[in-house]
Amino acid sequence: MIRINEHYLKLSASYLFSTINKKVAAYEKANPGADIISMGIGDVTRALPQACIRAFHSAVDEMAADSTFRGYGPDQGYDFLREAIARSDYQARGADIAADEIFISDGAKCDTANIQELFANDIVIAVPDPVYPVYVDTNVMAGRTGAFENGRYQGLVYLESTLINGFMPALPKGKVDLIYLCFPNNPTGATATRDQLAQWVAYARDNCALILYDAAYHAFIRDDSLPQSIYEIPGARDIAIEFRSFSKTAGFTGTRCAYAVVPKTCAAWDARGNRHELHGMWNRRHTTKFNGVSYPVQRAAEAVFSEEGQRQIREINDYYLRNARLISDTMTALGYRCSGGANAPYIWIETRMDSWQFFDMLLEKANVVCTPGAGFGRCGEGFIRISAFNSYENMQAGLKRIRAVRSS
Ligand code: MLT
């Protein structure tokens, strides 16, 4: 008899954003013609930058002639893109990362989900709370946790991010092996200073631990004193893998391109104490299970690093940050405590009531979709996340409706 992976039974029925989509679809079915404004999932709405579009078109034209056509590309990604990333995103900021330490993929969600395959099943894992659910769910699927009780999976170490600690979790009290960090943070919008990141790097080095650093939102950092990459911290390349994406940086949510940086100095150990380079292991996994991102998409991504591309993505991301300011200012004026939004596209808002109830209220009374904080973990209860990814006009309209609900 074919049997299932029973660890899946520990998961909640559907993924957070699928649950939200289902609720919204049910509401729309019951209320045909409802004009819903999305401030929920972090999905971009602005067109791809012109520099990317031009590169995309010209790469598609290359595919149209036998002489310039390309079949399978290099599994790890084309050198032109890996070199542009290493130069612009790392070396230009003083981070010692080489092109051949970069693996091009179709998403940071997939990379952060897949990376856990490299590690033993009995390691101790620390995740922030609230947390991007992918980090947790994929470890549940792999059997690294116990049952879900009181809003938490047994066996995980939860790093609490609260109003009291400014959404910057304290270092684990005991010893953990694998640590997920995300800055600028999804969902709280918190950012880490150089000193704070240095403490995490020191912890990982002292404990032979590894940090999985999700930097998908780095392009929203406007405070130059904040690190954009963990590799800006000395010693990090021995203990951290970093994930980045063109999704939020350059509007590629529907186009798909991202990358993982696995430095050659980054290692983990087998049960006998032998050291293994994670770069080789990730290369083995990547080449076995992935056939690369399409050539035109990689050319479009490369264009992000041209002078024109950099100017255009900054303009687009400034646009979303203007939305973020509007959200933060409006919700604050309505009496809600807000954080994030200054160097991040997410605003984390204290609701002082059950976050799913608040979600339902906004959906039903304002036809606005937000993300309930409880969906990100126990510490998210009593909060919602509003995303800045929509048009300024839709933001104004959505916030006007929230104001009307609040004063009714
Ligand atoms: C979010 O809204 O948290 C993200 O867009 C989801 C994702 O990137 O997978």
pLDDT top residue among 18 and 193: 193
Distance 132 CA to ligand 1 centre (A): 8
User: Looking at residue 259, what is its pLDDT?
Assistant: 98
User: Is 356 in a helix, a strand, or coil?
Assistant: helix
Mean pLDDT confidence for 31-38: 95
Check whether 22 has a pLDDT greater than 80: yes
Distance 45 CA to ligand 1 centre (A): 14
Mean residue pLDDT of the chain comes to: 97
Per residue in 265-297, pLDDT (tens digit) is: 999 999 999 999 999 999 999 999 999 999 999
Q: What angle do CA 375, 379, 385 make, to 5 degrees?
A: 50
* Of 378, 379, 380, the residue nearest 370 (C-alpha): 380
Per residue in 222-271, pLDDT (tens digit) is: 999 999 999 999 999 999 999 999 999 999 999 999 999 999 999 999 99
- Quick one: which atom of ligand 1 is closest to the CA of 109? 9
In this structure, the residue with its CA closest to atom 4 of ligand 1 is: 42
In this structure, the residue with its CA closest to atom 9 of ligand 1 is: 109
Per residue in 360-373, pLDDT (tens digit) is: 999 999 999 999 99
Torsion region of 54: left, alpha or beta (phi above 0 gives left; psi -120 to 50 gives alpha): alpha
**Which pTM was predicted?**
0.97
- Quick one: which atom of ligand 1 is closest to the CA of 40? 2
Confidence band for 407, pLDDT divided at 50, 70 and 90: confident
Distance 41 CA to ligand 1 centre (A): 6
Ligand 1: residue of 15, 16, 17 to mutate (most ligand atoms within 8 A of CB) is 17
- Residues lining ligand 1, CB < 6 A? 41-43, 109, 186
- Quick one: which atom of ligand 1 is closest to the CA of 247? 8
Distance 103 CA to ligand 1 centre (A): 21
Distance CA 332, CA 315 (A): 26
DSSP letter at 174 equals S
User: Looking at residue 125, what is its pLDDT?
Assistant: 98
Percent of the chain with pLDDT over 70: 100
Check whether 337 has a pLDDT greater than 80: yes
Distance 133 CA to ligand 1 centre (A): 9
Distance 408 CA to ligand 1 centre (A): 32
User: Looking at residue 241, what is its pLDDT?
Assistant: 98
Mean pLDDT confidence for 324-352: 97
Check whether 13 has a pLDDT greater than 80: no
* Of 210, 209, 269, 272, the residue nearest 241 (C-alpha): 210
Check whether 330 has a pLDDT greater than 80: yes
Distance 42 CA to ligand 1 centre (A): 5
Per residue in 70-111, pLDDT (tens digit) is: 999 999 999 999 999 999 999 999 999 999 999 999 999 999
Check whether 408 has a pLDDT greater than 90: no
Confidence band for 163, pLDDT divided at 50, 70 and 90: very high
- Quick one: which atom of ligand 1 is closest to the CA of 134? 9
User: Looking at residue 273, what is its pLDDT?
Assistant: 96
Distance CA 13, CA 35 (A): 28
User: Looking at residue 345, what is its pLDDT?
Assistant: 98
Distance CA 8, CA 13 (A): 9
User: Looking at residue 406, what is its pLDDT?
Assistant: 85
* Of 166, 114, 163, the residue nearest 141 (C-alpha): 114
In terms of Cβ atoms closer than 10 Å to its own Cβ (0-12, 13-18, 19+), residue 26 is: exposed
